[in-house]
Amino acid sequence: MNKAKHIAIIMDGNGRWAELKDKKRVKGHEAGAKVVKEITTFCSQSKDIERLTLYAFSTENWKRPRLEVEFLMKLLESYLRNELPVYLKNNVRFEPIGDTRAFSKSLQKTIKDVQEKTSHCDGLVQSLALNYGAQDEILRAVNKIKDCEDFITEAMLSNALDCKHNVDLLIRTGGDHRLSNFLLWQAAYAELFFTDTLWPDFTTDDLQKIIKDFTKIERRFGGLK
Ligand code: FPP
For 35-68, write each residue's pLDDT tens digit: 999 999 999 999 999 999 999 999 999 999 999 9
State how far the Cα of 225 lies from the Cα of 222, in Å rounded to an integer.
10
Is 151 inside a domain boundary? no
Ligand 1 nearest atom to the CA of residue 79, by list position: 16
The per-residue pLDDT for 104 is 97
The CA-atom distances, in angstroms, between 210 and each of 79, 164, 213, 214 are 26, 24, 5, 6
Specify whether the CB–CB gap between 130 and 96 falls below 8 A.
Answer: yes
Distance (angstroms) between ligand 1 centre and the Cα of 217 equals 29
Is the distance from CB of 169 to CB of 158 less than 8 angstroms?
no
The answer as to whether 180 is a domain residue is: yes
14 pocket-lining for ligand 1 (C-beta < 6 Å): yes
Query: Which residue from 20, 26, 27, 29 has its CB within 8 A of the most atoms of ligand 1, so it is best to mutate?
Result: 29
- Nearest protein Cα to ligand 1, atom 1: 12
* Residue 15 included in any domain: yes
Cβ–Cβ under 8 Å, residues 73 and 104: yes
CA 99 to chain centre: 14
In order of 67, 103, 176, 182, the CA distances from 72 in angstroms are 9, 11, 22, 18
- The verdict on residue 152 lying in a domain is no
32 lines ligand 1 (CB under 6 A): yes
- Nearest ligand 1 atom to the CA of 18 is 23
Please, what's the b/e burial string for 145-178 (b: 16 or more CB within 10 A of its CB; e: otherwise)?
eeeeeeeeeeeebeebbbbebbbbbbbbbbeeee
DSSP state for residue 97 in the 8-state scheme: B
Q: Distance between CA 180 and CA 175 in Å, rounded?
A: 13
Tell me the whole-structure pTM to 2 decimals. Answer: 0.96
Range of the domain at 178: 6-132+165-215
155, part of any domain: no
Q: Domains in the chain: how many in total?
A: 1
- The verdict on residue 145 lying in a domain is no
Task: Return the pLDDT at 225.
Answer: 67
- Among 12, 90, 168, 181, which one carries the catalytic annotation? 12
Q: Ligand 1, residue 128: give the atom nearest the CA.
A: 15
Instruction: Note whether residue 104 is domain-resident.
Output: yes
Question: Which residues have a Cβ under 8 Å from the Cβ of 132 and sit 6 or more positions away?
Answer: 55, 56, 57, 58, 59, 97, 98, 99, 162, 182
Active-site residue, selected from the candidate residues 2, 48, 61, 136 = 61
Residue ranges in the chain whose pLDDT is less than 50: none
pLDDT computed for residue 47 by the predictor: 93
CATH of the domain at 33: 3.40.1180.10
Does the active-site annotation cover 61?
yes
CA nearest ligand 1 atom 24, residue: 15
Is residue 75 within 6 Å of ligand 1 at its C-beta? Answer: yes
Residue 224 resides in a domain: no
Contact 128, 160 (CB under 8 A): no
Ligand 1 centre to CA of 26 (Å) is 9
